[in-house]
Structure 1
Amino acid sequence: MFVDTHCHLTMLDLSPYNGDLDQALAQARLAGVSKFMGISVDLEDHVKLAEIAARHDDVGYTVGVHPCEDEHIMAQATTDYLVQLAQSDKVWALGETGLDYYHSTDFVIEQKRCFARHIEASKIVKKPVVVHTRAAKHDTVDIIRAEQSTHGILHCFTEDWETAKAVLDCGYYISFSGIISFKNAQDLRDVAKQVPLDRVLIETDSPYLAPVPYRGKTNEPKYVPYVAKALADVYHKSVEEMGLITTQNFENLLKFK
C-alpha cells in the first residue's frame, strides 16, 4: 500500500535485526510497505544496492552522486558513465543529485555541473532524477528550468510554495518526509495543502528524519506509513487513501516516457 520512495538502504541501523537488512524489509512489508527505492549518494553505492535489488522484487535503486560528495567524486559522474550505470531495469532513477549550499559552498560550480549531467543522463535513459536541495532553492529551480528537466522528484521537500509551484510547473513530483509530521512544521503543511494530490510522494529518507512518534530515533522504511498519516491529515483523507494515492503517483512517475 505504501512506497518508500527514498531510503538509504546501505546506511540503515540494522542492529535491531542482527545486521540483516532482509529482516528490516520484512518488517516494513508487515507495516504495509510494498515498494522501496534505495538511494545512491556516491558511485560505489550502486554495487550493494544492485545486490539488494536482485534479492527483492519490490526493491529498486538509483545511481548518482550527492552534492555533498567530494568534487573529485562529482567529476567522475560524467553523463556517459551515469547512462551506463542506469541501464538495468532495477535502476528506477538518477540521483540523489542537486545542490547543497548549507553544508558547503566550496564547490558550487562543481555541484551545478554535476546536477546538470544527472539531468542530461535522466533524459537519455528516460528515468526520473531525484533532486536534493538545501539553502539553494533558487539555483535548483534555475537549473531544472535551464536543462528543461520535466521528469523528477524534489525529495524531502521543506521549501516554500513559490519553489513547489516552480518545480510542479516543470512536471516534477514533490516528496514529503517525516518532517511533515513535526509539530514545528505547520508552514510546510500549509504548503503541502496546495500541492495537487496527483503529484505527492512519501519517503522516509531513512536512517534520517524519523516521523512522529519516532522523532529523534533512527529512521527505517517501516515508518513511512506515519508520513502518509501526517499527509492524510493535511488532505483530509484516510491513511489508506493516502497510501493508494502516493503509490499510484510513484507508478505513474516510473511509467513516464
Structure 2
Amino acid sequence: MYTDSHCHITEDRLYERIDEVLKNMHEVSNCMIMCTNETEFKRALALKETRPHFKIAFGWFPQDAKDITEKHIQILQKAIDSNQIDCLGEIGLDYYWDKSFINEQKELFIKQIQMANHANLPISIHMREATKDCLDILREHAKTKVIFHCFSGSKETMNECLKMGAYISFAGPITFKNNRQGVECATLCPLDKILTETDSPYLTPVPYRGKTNEPKYVEFTTKKICELKEIDVETLCAQISNNFQSLFKEA
C-alpha cells in the first residue's frame, strides 16, 4: 500500500541482508531502487527478475563527476538502450562537500538530462547547496518528468519546482523535531505532486531515527503527511501510488 520512490537497497549496507529487507517490505507496493554504480545496478537487475513490479533508476551521482569518463556514459547509455532502467538518477548538483569541480558536475548533469530527454525517461534530482544552478539547468534542458528527491528546500523553492511540473518527494526528515521548513512544504504541496521515499539506508524517520533505514519505514513519512494534510492513509497512499505510476506513462 505504501510507495518508496527512492531507496538504495542494493547498497552494501542493506544488500548484505536483502532477504530480510524484502520480507519487511510486505506493505510497500511501489518501489524504485536507486543505483549509483554498476555493482548496485547489476544487483537491482537480479532483484527485478523475481519482482518485476520494482522500478530501477540508474545514474552517475554529482559528487562522482570528476571520476566519470566516456566509458561510464556508455555504460549508462547501454542500460537505457536495453530498456533496463525506468528512471535516470539520482543526478544533479551537490556543492556541500566539495566545490572544486562544479563545472564537471554541471557538464555531467546536463549530459544525463539530455540522455533522459532522448529516451523519455523521468529524472530523479539530487540538489544540495546548489539550488539556483540546479533549477537554471533544469529550466533550460529538462524536457522530461522531474522528481526532486528528498526535498529539503523552502516553500519558495518548492513553488519554482512545481512550476516545472515536477514531483516533490518527501523522506524521513519531515518527521524530525523542529523541521519547520519540511513540514510547511509537505503541508502545502499539492496532492497530485507528492511522492514518498526513504532514501534508505539514510534519513530514517522518527521513531527509528538513528537506526539503519529501509523501505518498510516509509510508513512513518506517509503517516506524517496524512497528519499534516488531515487525510486518511488509504486515500493518500492511493494518490501517491497514482503519482508514482504516472512517472512511467507516456506524456
Provide the TM-score with structure 1 as the length reference: 0.91
Q: Which residue of 2 aligns with 1:45?
A: 40
SS for the counterpart of 1:106 is: coil
Q: In the alignment, does 2:21 pair up with 1:27?
A: no
Q: Which residue of 2 aligns with 1:9?
A: 9
Distance 2:33 2:184 in 1: 29
Q: Which residue of 1 aligns with 2:195?
A: 201
Distance 1:216 1:23 in 2: 19
SS for the counterpart of 2:110 is: helix
Please tell me the residue identity of whatever aligns with 1:196.
P
Structure 1 residue 52: Cα displacement: 1.5
CA contact 1:74–1:111 (8 Å) conserved in 2: no
CA contact 2:187–2:228 (8 Å) conserved in 1: yes
1:215-235: CA deviation from partner (whole Å, max 9, x where unpaired): 111100010111101111111
CA contact 1:60–1:90 (8 Å) conserved in 2: no
**Which residue of 16, 37, 50 maps to 1:55?**
50
Structural mapping, 1:77-88, within 5 Å: 77-78=72-73, 81-88=75-82
SS for the counterpart of 1:86 is: helix
The count of corresponding residues between Structure 1 and Structure 2 is 251
Distance 1:198 1:20 in 2: 34
Please tell me the residue identity of whatever aligns with 1:27.
N
Percent identity over paired residues: 36
Distance 2:106 2:205 in 1: 31
SS for the counterpart of 1:139 is: helix
**Which residue of 82, 100, 123 maps to 1:106?**
100
**Which residue of 221, 224, 228 maps to 2:218?**
224
Distance 2:14 2:138 in 1: 36
SS for the counterpart of 1:36 is: strand
CA contact 2:11–2:40 (8 Å) conserved in 1: no
**Which residue of 129, 132, 138 maps to 1:135?**
129
CA contact 2:6–2:32 (8 Å) conserved in 1: yes
Provide the TM-score with structure 2 as the length reference: 0.93
1:177-229: CA deviation from partner (whole Å, max 9, x where unpaired): 00111112122111222211100000000000000111111100010111101
1:153-189: CA deviation from partner (whole Å, max 9, x where unpaired): 0000000122211121112101000011111212211
Distance 1:75 1:184 in 2: 44
Q: CA RMSD in A?
A: 1.8
1:108-145: CA deviation from partner (whole Å, max 9, x where unpaired): 11111111111111111111001000000111100000
For structure 2, the residue ranges without an aligned partner over 5 or more in a row are none
